[in-house]
Amino acid sequence: YMKPVKEGVYPAMLHVQGYSSNKVPQNLYQGDDMVSFALNIRGHGNSQDDVNPGFPGYLQDHVDDKELYIYRGAYMDCVRAVDFLFSRSEVDTSRVAVEGGSQGGALSFATAALDNERIDLCVPHVPFLSDFRDYFKVAGWPGGEFRQYFEDHPEIPEDEIYKNLSYIDIKNLAPWIKAPVLMSIGLIDETCPPHINFAAYNQLNVPKEYIVYPFAGHGLPGEYYNTMMDYIKHQFKH
């Protein structure tokens, strides 16, 4: 958690992380005009002390039970992060953004959807966790993990698993979002292919923009960070 040295009230940005990564202080925005909070959802970074299904394994953790599935809890972790921001006197609660890439892109969508009265801006890039049936057909990962899961658990109907996944599918959550959205994608992304990004984006009913990096895969070029920050600052300008 970082805040400007000068006392005052500032817009805030919640950073949510990619799959298996660890959010540490150097990941935070270093400017003097915004509060920055990086969250380790359950099973990531220092949150592994309490919940740690591991990698691989995270994606399938309790996927047979929609109430216990790991991502149900992960999404709630993000909402609790917003609770924390709203408890801080230095945060301008009318200007709170969420951003992240890959899994963090999915978490950005989910946070903006589930906490749509408090999130004012959503900035995902190369978002994950969408359009699962098609996704698993075209992506070697995580499709391979789930195909193995289906083989290991023939007693569980595949349709039941897909039904449970539908509850955390960001294309089903996207219509709840009330904040403007800027989504960025890599056109040759084989991990989170563009069609799963747009499966969610196309369900948005808010002001929205997208940026395509035609020669980028799952990692966007360095210029993306500056573009993202310029967009956030412009949106939050008084």
Query: Does 184 or 50 have the greater pLDDT score?
Result: 184
Does 218 qualify as catalytic in the annotation?
A: yes
Instruction: Give the model confidence (pLDDT) of 65-123 as tens digits.
Output: 999 999 999 999 999 999 999 999 999 999 999 999 999 999 999 999 999 999 999 99
Q: In the prediction, which pLDDT does 26 show?
A: 57
Q: In the prediction, which pLDDT does 118 show?
A: 99
Is the alpha carbon torsion for 50, 53, 56, 59 positive or negative?
A: negative
Does 87 qualify as catalytic in the annotation?
A: no
Let me know: does 170 contact 110? Beta carbons within 8 Å: yes
Q: Which of 61, 77, 115, 189 is catalytic?
A: 189
3-state secondary structure of 96: strand
- Cα separation, 41 vs 111, whole angstroms: 12
Q: Which of 102, 108, 130, 184 is catalytic?
A: 102
The encoded tokens of residue 79 equal: 């909402």
Least confident of 95-99, 136-140, 211-215, 225-229: 136-140
Instruction: Give the model confidence (pLDDT) of 127-145 as tens digits.
Output: 999 999 999 998 888 888 8
- Cα separation, 142 vs 97, whole angstroms: 28
Show the domains of the chain with their CATH numbers: 10-49+75-130+170-235 (3.40.50.1820)
Q: What is the pTM of this model?
A: 0.96
pLDDT of 209 higher than 90:
yes
Query: Does 137 or 200 have the greater pLDDT score?
Result: 200
The encoded tokens of residue 176 equal: 């709840």
Q: In the prediction, which pLDDT does 24 show?
A: 67
Q: In the prediction, which pLDDT does 111 show?
A: 99
Helices marked H in the chain — which ranges? 70-86, 103-114, 132-138, 140-152, 158-166, 170-173, 194-201, 223-235
Half-sphere exposure at residue 16, Cβ-oriented, CA atoms within 13 angstroms: 32
**CA 21 to each of CA 45, 133, 195: distance values in angstroms, whole numbers, following the listed order:** 7, 25, 24
pLDDT of 146 higher than 90:
no
Q: In the prediction, which pLDDT does 89 show?
A: 98
Q: In the prediction, which pLDDT does 29 show?
A: 81
Q: In the prediction, which pLDDT does 27 show?
A: 62
Does 189 qualify as catalytic in the annotation?
A: yes
Instruction: Give the model confidence (pLDDT) of 13-71 as tens digits.
Output: 999 999 998 876 556 787 889 999 999 999 998 898 889 999 989 999 999 999 999 99
Is the alpha carbon torsion for 74, 78, 15, 89 positive or negative?
A: negative
Segment 157-183 shows an average pLDDT of 98
Q: In the prediction, which pLDDT does 158 show?
A: 95
3-state secondary structure of 160: helix
Segment 190-212 shows an average pLDDT of 98
Q: In the prediction, which pLDDT does 50 show?
A: 85
How many helices and strands, by DSSP H and E, does the chain display? 8, 6
